[in-house]
Chains A and B, each alone.
Chain A
């Protein structure tokens, strides 16, 4: 009897096994098709230029790093400078976003003050507002402040919690932390600032990490902001550097173009490898656009 019961569970109806196999085949083919362009780019970056055309294979016949050397210093400013710039902008943005958004989220999730609901509704409203309507006046503002060609237009808004999405994400998370913890801390004589600092923030590491990683990735990938505000090549981010590289080499040096493209994606791959779980959970639970 026991045997029968377990067998019933283990071996599904006959057509189900076939279907599962079919799904595996379909999904494997789809995976290969989706990854092929990326792998081709990676492989091509190691091929000598003559091998890229007419060769869709993923294994370079002659392995060469020459494309990386050519690409790295293919413009008047090296990619090293672009990477440094991107790193500065992205890290500052992460600090700014996590700080300002967690402060606002704490106010919305945990404090009580007059007008709270009103401001919360307004904050949600800004989620729907396309940035294009604020773009031009912001540009005029930063132009008059003499901030064009500095990183300030890219960083300062992050310190002012302009990415309301992260406020929303953190509000949701803060609300899930039991209030008893706040009350216990209050009895121990903690004010709101200490509760924020020693209770809420430490318990919210996963949410803060999600916000930090997405901020990093989005800032790293941002093309529009740098395109508008950075004109001097010395202050270019990697995305702008890559775009200039496309314009200057055009079709002539695919190898170097692929090599630099691969390099600019590298930090994203690292995040993907190490924080995949966190990223996927972040999307699944909050609908982050990823």
Chain B
């Protein structure tokens, strides 16, 4: 048999394969791998685009770790943002998905309405709108006035600015909701029927059936949304006018990186910041995958 058959992959097949793959390969080496290596090198240098990069060893990383108050501020803001926006967003998404999964009439309409903010959420227009909703004389305070409360300017108050961004993220719970909904559909109805016969309460059904069977979807949403939250940029940029203010209250990590690179042209330092972000995201992802053994049920 083996002698009669041509080898599975002749050089001709391989050549064809690589031809199809050529655009991606050029992009991979030229725009992904190459630049990633260059940025790793730059992170050990001082580089302002004008003169040649000057090797400084680990100085950039040392400064990040020990003596950069802006970095600490950005970390604080970003972690707070991730820690608040992701759980709330997923909780809303799951709650609404479970309501919608009960065969309600008008499901497509509800689903469309809840999905719309996710679709348009990345636009500058939505960030602009958000700025006006939470401004001193904005929509929220107009509504609060009706019940006799004089709200502050949420955007320009350092204590509340970040929460307006969290609200913006939670407002976009539509796409994880759709994924939850697809996951809920996969759970066979007879499991619930059996549980009901056994006298399981709704509460028990949720904790013993729905949630465990949904953990793979929950895991997926958690990882994707967290990585996304770490990378958030546009809303903070628009709402703070590019400054990350007031008093660094909305200085997202990516915004700080942008300022270092494209406002001050400290390309070496910004590259180090980028690699620290990679390490943070990788560590989080690895942690999720490691912990998933204990809480994600794949055997349905």
Question: Could you list which residues of chain A lie within 8 angstroms of chain B, going by C-beta atoms?
Answer: 20, 23-24, 26-27, 30-31, 34-38, 40-41, 53-56, 99-101, 103-104, 106-108, 111-114, 116, 119, 122-123, 126, 128-130, 132-141, 143, 157, 159-162, 167, 191-192, 196, 217-218, 220-221, 223-224, 227-228, 239, 242-243, 246-247, 251, 254, 257-258, 260-262, 264-265, 268-269, 271-272, 276, 279-280, 283-285, 287-290
Contact = CB atoms under 8 A, between A and B. Distances in A.
Interface residues of B, number: 95
Interface in B92-129: 96, 99-100, 102, 104, 106, 110-120, 122-126, 128-129
Given A112-B17, A130-B231, A223-B124, A34 B35 contact: no
B115 A103 contact: no
A105 to B, nearest CB: 9
Contact of A137 (B42, B131, B228, B233): B42
A34 B120 CA distance: 13
B32 interface: yes
What 10 pairs across the A-B complex have the smallest Cβ distances? A160-B27, A113-B17, A290-B175, A137-B35, A261-B125, A107-B20, A137-B38, A284-B182, A134-B35, A104-B24
Interface in B121-154: 122-126, 128-133, 135, 137, 139, 142-143
Contacts of A24: 104, 106
Nearest to B257: A132
B49 A140 contact: yes
A251 B134 CA distance: 13
A139 B104 CA distance: 50
Nearest to B280: A130
Interface of B: 8-9, 13-18, 20-28, 30-32, 34-36, 38-40, 42, 49, 96, 99-100, 102, 104, 106, 110-120, 122-126, 128-133, 135, 137, 139, 142-143, 171, 174-175, 178-179, 181-182, 220, 224, 227-228, 230-231, 233-234, 237-238, 241, 254, 257-258, 261-262, 267, 270-271, 273-275, 277-278, 281-282, 285
Nearest to A279: B119
Given A23-B102, A26-B99, A290-B118, A111 B110 contact: no
